Amino acid sequence: MEKETLKAAILEQKKRLGVTIAAHFYQRDEVVEVADLVGDSLELSKRARDDEAPYLLFCGVGFMAQGVKILAPNKRVFMPRIACCSMARMIDASYFNASVEAMISAGIARENIYPVTYINASAEVKAEVGKMGGMVCTSSNAAVIMEHALKSGKKILFVPDRCLGENLAIKMGLKSAVIGRESPEEMARADVICFDGFCSVHQLFTPEDIDFYRERYPDILIAVHPECDPKVVAKADFSGSTSQIIRWVAEQPIEQKIAVGTEFNLVNRLREKNTFVLSATKPECPTMNETTLEEVKAVLDSIEAGTFINEMTIDDETREWAAIALNRMLDLSR
């Protein structure tokens, strides 16, 4: 089917069937164009939870669709394809528990550990965090969540993104250590102990990329996502979540040159501004970028036929504990 015909068919069918389509900013343009809700991880989890349609088709990665199922268990949540965030796949419940044990071995008592998981983690990991009295954060609200967690007077276990954990610690004047990189003594001295996970897309941006653009255009401004390495964030003019980057770029005068260090589809949509992609390679999130209109249509067809492909399911116990961790975050970031 020709693309415009396919889009028109999707728009008609989703309305008729009562399906809301949510798309993260990293989705391809054609997918964003058929979506009802477009946003960052935090915005999408709140707006999709509050949406009244019985069906939600989430164009993003697994942890995002799972997040809606956790918060709105009666909603039937689907994905056009089962796409995973590679960072979220770096940690499961056993790695989480091994991280807690590593802190205990460094002399930190279990009761003195406050776990915070970046939303880019499975329901299983969120559930472990919920059981230990901890909570979720996103890149939009990470500083607020961290401030709250620190009020407990405990050591923070931050999973799975080392870069976000270290960037937060630097911003807040805290000492951080990375499990497996730093010694037990250094872990015991740190305020924030990070799991050693990372985003393969944001690792593509380097301090040299920033030097390159600053040499070529001395007045250029640089905006990056906090999943970038702290050495990159230190050289940037702005660091923030996807929606914060979009807002910050929009505030700049039209003639201002800006290089942006985040995923390609998002940066490419900012092209009416004077923007560059801050990387010599094309920083595509592989799984986000694979979702197609044909797959969106196939799920709508399956809802219409009653065969329901690619539906998200989470067992009740995991869902309930994960909901506790997610709702603790949402209560703090309304």
Q: Which is nearer to ligand SF4, 85 or 169 (CB)?
A: 85
- DSSP H or E segment with residue 114: strand 113-118
Q: Which is nearer to ligand SF4, 87 or 249 (CB)?
A: 87
Say whether residue 288 binds ligand SF4 (CB under 6 A). yes
Q: What does the alpha-carbon distance between residue 75 and residue 58 come to, in Å, rounded to a whole number?
A: 12
Q: Which is nearer to ligand SF4, 205 or 321 (CB)?
A: 205
Q: What does the alpha-carbon distance between residue 195 and residue 292 come to, in Å, rounded to a whole number?
A: 33
Residues of this chain, 48-107, that bind ligand SF4 according to CB under 6 A? 61, 85-87
Choosing among ligand SF4, ligand 13P, none, which partner's interface includes residue 41 (Cβ < 5 to 8 Å by kind)? ligand 13P
Terminal Cα distance for the chain, rounded: 42
Return the C-alpha torsion angle 176, 178, 182, 184, nearest 10.
80
Choosing among ligand 13P, ligand SF4, none, which partner's interface includes residue 138 (Cβ < 5 to 8 Å by kind)? ligand 13P
Q: Which is nearer to ligand 13P, 13 or 203 (CB)?
A: 203
Stretch of 101-109, 170-178, 199-207, 213-221 lying at the interface with ligand SF4 (CB under 6 A): 199-207
State the minimum distance, in angstroms, from the CB of residue 150 to ligand SF4.
24
Q: What does the alpha-carbon distance between residue 295 and residue 293 come to, in Å, rounded to a whole number?
A: 5
Q: What does the alpha-carbon distance between residue 308 and residue 294 come to, in Å, rounded to a whole number?
A: 16
Q: Which is nearer to ligand 13P, 154 or 202 (CB)?
A: 202
| Contact set with ligand 13P (CB under 6 A) | 40-42, 120, 138-140, 199, 225, 227, 241-242
Q: Which is nearer to ligand 13P, 41 or 274 (CB)?
A: 41
Q: Which is nearer to ligand 13P, 113 or 259 (CB)?
A: 259
Return the C-alpha torsion angle 163, 165, 170, 176, nearest 10.
-110
DSSP 76-110: EEE-SS----TTGGG--HHHHHHHHHHHHHTT--G
State the minimum distance, in angstroms, from the CB of residue 44 to ligand SF4.
12
Collapse the DSSP code of 277 into the 3-class scheme (helix H, G, I; strand E, B; otherwise coil) and give the result: strand
Choosing among ligand SF4, ligand 13P, none, which partner's interface includes residue 141 (Cβ < 5 to 8 Å by kind)? none
Say whether residue 263 binds ligand SF4 (CB under 6 A). yes
By C-alpha distance, which of 88, 93, 53 is closest to 72? 53
Say whether residue 113 binds ligand SF4 (CB under 6 A). no
Say whether residue 34 binds ligand SF4 (CB under 6 A). no
CA distances to 128, 191, 219 from 323, in Å? 11, 26, 45
Q: Which residues bind ligand SF4 (CB under 6 A)?
A: 61, 85-87, 120, 199-201, 227, 263, 285, 288
